[in-house]
């Protein structure tokens, strides 16, 4: 079993936690997670690839074990998240790398690729949208909030942070839900519960609102 290291980098005073495995002289693969999860989502993939790749899986700001700075001190936009992860790659010494982008990781990774195309050797995209047409009807409540950020439309989005919605995101479309480990969605729910007073839910509202800047 390949050894996985659990580390943290200081990015301008912001702690970014990350998982790392594989030999550093092997081709590097930067793993960028989605919502509602963290680098933890790659826990089963990393051991399968560590013999062939140098793997780095950071927790985005506000996710997992990374810092959750207050909104009055940190702008929760995908542009800003991309800037943090871009600087993260420099701090941990990633010169050239491929990207695996998933969900929220897509608008982060694609911005980095546009800024530094010479550093990115390949992009693997799973559930990663770069255009509004790629969003299903399930995004209609969020579209309504984009068009009219009223309190009523904001309240309608709270369903996305409910425990049962988190479970649905992990199990929807799976033929046998008993094959899905509860570790992932249980960890996400516990993290949200512990950090609700710190505003993590408001952060995800902010990110969903900023999502529109990626498509229009």
Which homologous superfamily does the CATH classification assign to the domain defined by 4-214? Alpha/Beta hydrolase fold, catalytic domain (3.40.50.1820)
What are the pLDDT digits (tens) for 29-43? 999 999 888 999 999
Concatenated DSSP letters of 14-77: EEEEEEEES-TTSPEEEEE--TT--GGGGTTHHHHHTTT-EEEEEPPTTSTTS----TTTS--S
What are the pLDDT digits (tens) for 95-116? 999 999 999 999 999 999 999 9
Q: Is the pLDDT of residue 129 over 90?
A: no
**199 falls in which pLDDT band (50, 70, 90)?**
low
Q: Is the pLDDT of residue 132 over 70?
A: yes
Q: What is the mean pLDDT of residues 123-144?
A: 85
User: What pTM value is reported for the model?
Assistant: 0.86
Distance CA 214, CA 209 (A): 10
């Amino acid at each position: 079993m390949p050894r996985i290291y659990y580390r943290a980098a200081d990015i301008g005073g912001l702690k970014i936690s990350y998982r790392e495995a594989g030999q550093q002289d092997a081709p590097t693969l930067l793993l960028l997670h989605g919502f509602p999860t963290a680098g933890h989502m790659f826990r089963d993939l990393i051991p399968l690839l560590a013999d062939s790749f140098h793997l780095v899986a950071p927790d985005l700001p506000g996710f997992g074990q990374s810092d959750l700075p207050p909104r009055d001190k940190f702008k929760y936009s995908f542009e800003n998240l991309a800037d943090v992860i871009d600087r993260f790659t420099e701090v941990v010494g990633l010169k050239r790398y491929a990207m695996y982008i998933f969900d929220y990781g897509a608008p982060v990774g694609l911005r980095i690729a546009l800024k530094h195309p010479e550093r990115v050797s390949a992009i693997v995209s799973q559930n990663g949208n770069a255009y509004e047409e790629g969003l299903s009807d399930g995004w209609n409540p969020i579209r309504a909030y984009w068009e009219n950020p009223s309190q009523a439309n904001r309240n309608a989005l709270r369903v996305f942070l409910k425990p049962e919605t988190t479970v649905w995101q992990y199990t929807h479309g799976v033929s046998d839900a008993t094959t899905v480990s509860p570790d992932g969605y249980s960890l996400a729910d516990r993290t949200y519960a512990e950090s609700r007073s710190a505003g993590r839910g408001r952060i995800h509202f902010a990110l969903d609102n900023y999502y529109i800047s990626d498509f229009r």
